[in-house]
Amino acid sequence: MGLRVLGVDPGLTRCGYGVIDSGRTPSLVRVGVVRTPADMEHGQRLVRILAGLREVIDETQPQQMALERVFANNQRNTVMGVAQVSGLVIHEAASRGVPLQLFTPSEVKNAVTGYGGAEKAQVGEMVRRVLRLEAVPKPADAADALALAIAASWRAARSIPSPPTRDLPRAATGELTAAQRAWLAAEKASRKQF
């Protein structure tokens, strides 16, 4: 069995989560969303999300976590809620000693589809293919969380030395998949920006 990874797509109304076991053929462990109603008191919404995430973490025992980075947009209230939920995830990872990786949306899209500007439907379809699922997980927040877990597992695989190279897991043909090659290119490009 490979690395167990929990991906979280933070949101106040729907917080997506997806857990996979990585490896040559990644497999789905658990996927879903923690929902809160818009008319619930804000603090109670955060309490419900945290309780849901803790239950998932306790049940699945991830060895790695992945979270989408918060980025500013024109909807200030949405960004604030996402940032608060992200803080809960960061706190849980740190308090449990679970390594956490942060990804921009374009990094995840690049890793999973090979194109940083991919549409949600394309990401969902690639998640379905990579995990060999019958259907794309719904809602999109759940599929996005699985995409985060996939991206994190591929990045983590590169940091674990394995003779004779430190490359990402290879496909059955012995070559990197198109998505893995795209991930390497995106990672190199992101390093040049800093």
Q: Which amino acids are annotated catalytic?
A: 9, 68, 141
How far is the C-alpha of 143 from the C-alpha of 105, rounded, in Å?
13
* C-alpha–C-alpha distance, residues 191 and 153, integer Å: 19
Q: Which residues 6+ apart lie within 8 Å of 38 measured at CB?
A: 13
Contact between 10 and 65 (Cβ < 8 Å): no
Residue 9 is labelled as binding a ligand: yes
Q: Which residue matches tokens 């996005």?
A: 144
Place of tokens 């995106």: 186
Neighbours of 52 (CB within 10 A): 17
Ligand-binding annotation for 21, yes or no, is no
- Per the annotation, binding residues are 9, 68, 141
- Per the annotation, binding residues for Mg(2+) are 9, 68, 141
